[in-house]
Amino acid sequence: MTVAAAPVALPRNDPRQYDALVGQWWNPAGTFAMLHWLAASRAELIPLAARADALLVDIACGGGLMAPHAARAGYRHVGVDIGRVALALAATHGVHVVQGDARALPLPDSCADVVVAGEVLEHVPDVDTVVAEACRVLRPGGTIVVDTIAATLFGRLSAIVVGERLPGGPPRRLHDPALFVDRAELIAAFARRGVELHLTGLRPPVLGYARWLVARVRGRSGPALSMAPTRLTAGLFQASGVRPLLATAVPAAPSATGTAPAARAATPAAPSHARLEA
C-alpha cells in the first residue's frame, strides 16, 4: 500500500506560495481583493504620462493588477517579479514581464518615468537594496510610489492577527511580521538617494468593507472599494516621492549626539509629511 505524502507547508513569506494562489489575482471577491483597492490608490499618485513611450516599472507586479491603471495613465507597463506563474498571468493583461529579484532589477539605469512597488517591501529582507534599485531605474524627475506595512504592533495586529483571518485580506502565513517596514528607515533610505518621501496611512472604508463582506457571504462580488487615507501610518501605508533632477541627498534630521552613520540610517529625513505613530 502506498501512502500519499502530506503536502509540505511552505515557510512564512516564501514567494512560492503565490504559485498556488494564481487563480486569486483577478478575482475581485478573492483573497487578493484588497490588492485591487490598493492598486487603485497607487494609481492616484501616478502622473499622466508626459510622452508617448513613457515607462512605468512595476516592482513585484504579481498578477499585473496595475495593468489597467498604467494603461489609463498612458504608460508602457514593465512588471518584474520573482514568480514566473504570476508573471505569465500578468502578461495576459498586457504587462511586459521580466523575471527577476527586486534587489537586483534586470533593467537599465534611469529607464522608468514611474516606479511602483506595491506590497512587496514587507516581503524582502533587505529594503535598502530594493530602494537603491528602485531609485537607480527611476529617471531624474520621475515619480516613485510604494505601499507596504509598518513594523509596529498595530501593523502586526491589522495585517496578521486580524488581516489574515478576514476575507479579502492576505492568506495565512503569506507575511513574516519580522520583515515589516520601519518607516523611519524607509524615509532615510530614500533620502540617501535624494528622494523626499511623503507618507499617508491607508485603511479600507469601514461601511464599504462591511457591505463587501456581506455581499461575499451571500456569494456575490462586493463593490470595488477605495482605500481611505488616514494620518495613522502605523499600519498599511503608502509613500511617494520624486527623484530630483540633480543628484543631491535629502539632508537627514540633525543628530544631537553626533550619531554614527549606521545608526543615523534610522533617522527620518526632514522635512516629511510622515507621522510615525507607534
Ligand X SMILES: C[S@@+](CC[C@H](N)C(=O)[O-])C[C@H]1O[C@@H](n2cnc3c(N)ncnc32)[C@H](O)[C@@H]1O
Residues that bind ligand X (CB under 6 A): 15, 18, 35, 38-39, 60-62, 65, 81-83, 86, 101-103, 118-120, 123-124
| Cβ at position 252, least distance to ligand X in Å | 27
Position closest to ligand X via CB: 62
List Cβ<8 Å contacts ≥24 apart for 153-158.
Answer: 153/278, 154/232, 154/234, 154/235, 154/277, 154/278, 155/180, 155/234, 155/235, 155/236, 156/180, 158/235, 158/236
Minimum CB separation from ligand X for residue 150, in Å? 15
Length of the chain: 278
- Residue nearer to ligand X on the CB measure, 238 or 272: 238
Residue 116 burial (10 A CB sphere; 0-12, 13-18, 19+): buried
In this structure, how many other beta carbons lie within 10 angstroms of the beta carbon of residue 219?
Answer: 7
Find the helix or strand (DSSP H, E) in which 210 lies: helix 206-217
| Nearest distance, CB of residue 118 and ligand X, angstroms | 3
CB of 33 to ligand X, least distance (A): 11
Q: Nearest approach, Cβ of 90 to ligand X (angstroms)? A: 9
> Which residue's CB is nearer to ligand X, number 149 or number 269?
149
Cβ neighbours of residue 217 under 8 Å, at least 6 residues apart?
Answer: none
Shorter beta-carbon distance to ligand X: residue 155 or 268: 155
Q: How far is the CB of 268 from ligand X (least distance, A)?
A: 25
Q: How far is the CB of 59 from ligand X (least distance, A)?
A: 7
- How many whole angstroms separate alpha carbon 92 and alpha carbon 88? 7
Q: Which is nearer to ligand X, 35 or 115 (CB)?
A: 35
Cβ atoms within 10 Å, residue 138: 24
17 backbone φψ class: left, alpha, beta (φ>0; ψ -120 to 50)? alpha
CA atoms of 275 and 278, how far apart (whole Å): 9
* Interhelix angle 127-137/183-192, nearest 10 degrees: 40
